[in-house]
Chain A
């Protein structure tokens, strides 16, 4: 906690942490939005979310090994993960769509274990990163350093979010997805092939996660076991924002990113993961308190 005083004495450091947090938080928004999509449309909580992010990171990493700039890994990762998500849907998810929510948690948890252990076997447990070599921007007489890659990543995340929003709003498939989310039975009566919609939604979600992972590997690090933290972050963001609330997802994501940066500065970086998981418990308890209070009023 000694670092609290440091923050007070060096306001530029506070600003630095805030900027870093917000930029990182923008990346968190992508898997969170995908999770909300799958949750809203298929009533499935996808615990394998973070592992799709991890896989996307490895795709971008191998793109950079091939001598191509890792930024081109973003579309490649999205495409690969789209196909992968579609396969996972056909193999497993299709059987659990109309089952109890806990079944989806447990089954996707199993998928998550399979993916992280496969990655461990195939890519080894080393911590990897893809160097983007974009340089840095210096602000306020170089007291604040911002990696250009973060700015680019946030721009890409923003573009992706806008494209996704327009796609869901206006395209034929997007409308079918939204109709299915509202009422699957009515959608089916109106001639929408809901199983197709589910497959597309799940694949789309995997593609979003893959793109996010391709950005994560350039800004930060990946390793086979990194998935669960991204799942938990996505879940937290969705719980705070609510389903189908894009503005909420963005705000919660940025807030989470900033909170994490400050926590890891104040408590020490070794507690960052502990902070994320403890925050989840706290947020869920807070939410249940709020719901309980509302119920009391209704009585």
Chain B
């Protein structure tokens, strides 16, 4: 069983590394696929593992987007150096924002946190589209990749692949340590966790900062890949990426390590393959999908498999979305 899993991971790794050469026409789509994996993973760190369901994580993505573009605009350096510097600047800004916002907002509980982050995401988009320094509603252009469009596709493919893999390994290492236990304790019963002497707010803020770091890097790369940054549709795109990351994590199985990865791949492939046939009705379909998954399939793919074959998954884990907490 262990050898089988190892073999599967090895085959997956080889496929992932070879994808730009196997299917060269779809390299940009595959780059986005890895970004989706990263988005779902970072959402699950705070949403699935800690039970803090955020609609506003897109804020950090947008900060990364804009920071990288602003650095490129104001510093007269070469493209890759500018991207690296911009990524670092975005990372610092996003982590600082997560620290400041998180120490306030993460004290809110449950539904208040969810609605507050929903407001935060929209507010960020609205503020960005009123701020002239970053192009206001008209958006900003990111510099053009020095090289062929195909070279750009391959470069961003590997960039997103590396980001997603590093994110996955970081989270796996975190979940295997005390951090993972504390996160799950916060999700299961925060008051008890606090009564046990755990500084829960510090852990939550730390988790948000980690998520913000990866999101900002993904945002910096995404802005450069798109070449154009619109405040509401690209950077603070709560309507698309912001919702998708929640949906992907829940579809795959929130609160599991592999769930967001599976969910992101399933969602992104489905979307790429089928959604072009829906002609403008994609977003209606997205809404229906959210309702159906949340109401009828909240355990997600991994959760469903774990319920079906518990012996393969070690312990049984009940999705926090399934637990009734109200007397009716």
Contact = CB atoms under 8 A, between A and B. Distances in A.
A145 interface: no
Contacts of A115: 287
A104 B321 CA distance: 10
Contacts of B289: 110
A69 interface: no
A284 B106 CA distance: 11
A274 B127 contact: yes
Interface in B239-271: 239, 243, 246, 250
Interface in A249-268: 268
Interface string B110-136: 111011101110110011011000000
A139 B246 CA distance: 52
B328 interface: yes
Given A106-B246, A110-B291, A113-B290, A288 B320 contact: no
B323 A100 contact: yes
Given A99-B324, A110-B290, A285-B104, A105 B280 contact: no
Interface in B61-113: 104-105, 107-108, 110-112
Contact of B116 (A97, A118, A228, A284): A284
Given A110-B287, A117-B284, A185 B321 contact: no
A6 interface: no
Interface residue SS majority, chain A: helix
B320 A277 contact: no
A216 to B, nearest CB: 19
Nearest to A99: B324
A102 B111 contact: yes
A281 B120 contact: yes
Given A232-B119, A274-B123, A102 B321 contact: yes
Contacts of A273: 122, 126
Nearest to A95: B295
Interface string B285-326: 011111100111010000000000000000000001111111
A49 to B, nearest CB: 11
A277 B239 CA distance: 15
A280 B115 contact: yes
A281 B105 contact: yes
* Interface size classification for chain B: 35 or more
A92 B295 contact: yes
A146 interface: no
Given A235-B115, A284-B108, A103 B126 contact: no
B172 interface: no
B120 A277 contact: yes
Contact of A228 (B122, B321, B324): B122
A280 to B, nearest CB: 4
A247 B180 CA distance: 46
Interface in A96-124: 96-107, 109-115, 117-118, 120-121
Given A106-B246, A271-B126, A277-B120, A284 B115 contact: yes
Given A110-B294, A194-B328, A281 B107 contact: no
B320 A100 contact: yes
A167 B295 CA distance: 32
B242 to A, nearest CB: 11
A117 B126 CA distance: 20
B281 interface: yes
Ranked 8 nearest A-B pairs via Cβ: A110-B290, A114-B287, A113-B287, A277-B123, A274-B126, A280-B119, A110-B291, A117-B283
Interface of B: 53, 55, 104-105, 107-108, 110-112, 114-116, 118-120, 122-123, 126-127, 129-130, 137, 239, 243, 246, 250, 280-281, 283-284, 286-291, 294-296, 298, 320-328
Given A98-B328, A277-B122, A278-B119, 9 more contacts: A103-B298, A106-B246, A109-B118, A110-B290, A113-B284, A270-B137, A273-B122, A278-B123, A284-B105
20 contacts: A96-B294, A97-B326, A99-B321, A100-B320, A101-B110, A102-B114, A105-B114, A105-B115, A106-B290, A110-B289, A110-B294, A113-B243, A113-B283, A115-B287, A268-B130, A274-B126, A277-B123, A280-B123, A281-B105, A284-B108
